[in-house]
């Protein structure tokens, strides 16, 4: 089945550090990828839509300068949390939409658990 | 009103029973419908998708879509304890658009 690799799976770092998370579609092309964050026992919250070769589209209330997204190829999107603070601690999940798959479903990475001390 | 509504549950069924999960949506222009399963602490996993009215079966799972009534459901036959998870319904208007997720229904299958 379709596989999305997300790395790293867990990050623990000091306040003020910038953290980069990678999302790769391993066996399909993904023009569009999505970045979500999820708090414990809460629903998925879409942060931004990442489009290959163009600027990401951010959801209302999400700071684009805080959460930098780069989608440089059809298989890779990165999210950088700049100058992270404890309130940025969360579970970040990427999702890639299969361009060629029937129904163009979204497939999720395993998520990155970010803890800012 | 939320765009995609799901009963948060928890829904509890005995092992071997049929679990029925429901989802309603507000956008009549929605074309594609997806069911995801999310175990606690893990990311969502696609179970199946449907875009035509009627039923779609895949193993123990059956998705049912009724566009006129704007609901989509997921039936899980012969429920197993390993089916215990949160089930997310997602709706999309076009292939180029983003999916809107419901808040999920938590299912517990008791041995």
pLDDT in tens, B24-48: 999 999 999 999 999 999 999 999 9
> Could you say which DSSP state residue B83 is in?
G
Q: How confident is the model at residue B81 (pLDDT cuts 50, 70, 90)?
A: very high
Tokens of B54: 């009627």
Instruction: Name residues whose C-beta falls within 8 Å of residue B72's C-beta, 6 or more positions apart in sequence.
Output: B22, B23, B25, B33, B35, B50, B63, B64, B65, B66, B89, B91
The DSSP H or E segment spanning A51 is: strand A45-51
Predicted local confidence at residue B97, as pLDDT? 78
Return the pLDDT at A8: 97
A49, A103, A110: residue with CB nearest B49:
A103
Predicted local confidence at residue A1, as pLDDT? 63
Contacts of B98 in chain A (CB under 8 A): 34, 46, 49
Chain B (6-35) residues lying within 8 Å, Cβ to Cβ, of chain A = 32, 34
Q: Which residue out of A105, A107, A109, A113 would a mutagenesis test of the B interface target, given it has the greatest number of B Cβ atoms within 10 Å?
A: A105
CA B70 to centroid of chain Cα atoms:
13
Q: What does the pLDDT average to over B95-109?
A: 89
Q: What confidence score (pLDDT) does residue B9 get?
A: 85
Contact check, Cβ <8 Å, B46/A107: yes
pLDDT tens-place values along chain A, 117 residues long: 669 999 999 999 999 999 999 999 999 999 999 999 998 888 899 999 999 988 999 999 999 999 999 998 999 999 999 999 999 999 999 999 988 877 788 899 999 999 999
């Amino acid at each position: 089945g379709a596989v999305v690799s997300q790395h790293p799976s867990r990050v623990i770092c000091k306040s003020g550090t910038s953290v980069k998370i990678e999302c790769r579609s391993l066996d399909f092309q993904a023009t569009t990828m999505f970045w979500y964050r999820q708090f414990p026992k809460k629903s998925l919250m879409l942060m931004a839509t990442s489009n290959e070769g163009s600027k990401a589209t951010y959801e209302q209330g999400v700071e684009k300068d805080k959460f930098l997204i780069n989608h440089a190829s059809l298989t890779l999107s990165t999210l950088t949390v700049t100058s992270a603070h404890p309130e940025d601690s969360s579970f970040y999940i990427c999702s890639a939409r299969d361009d060629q798959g029937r129904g163009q479903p979204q497939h999720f990475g395993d998520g990155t658990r970010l803890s800012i001390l | 009103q939320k765009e995609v509504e799901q009963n948060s549950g928890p829904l509890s069924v005995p092992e071997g029973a049929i679990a029925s999960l429901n989802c309603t949506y507000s956008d009549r222009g929605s074309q594609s419908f997806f069911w995801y399963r999310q175990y606690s602490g893990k990311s969502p996993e696609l179970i199946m998708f449907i875009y035509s009215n009627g039923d779609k079966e895949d193993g123990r799972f059956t998705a049912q879509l009724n566009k006129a009534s704007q609901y989509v459901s997921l039936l899980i036959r012969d429920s197993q304890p390993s089916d215990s998870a949160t089930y997310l319904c997602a709706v999309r208007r076009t292939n180029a658009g983003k999916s809107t997720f419901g808040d999920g229904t938590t299912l517990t299958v008791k041995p």
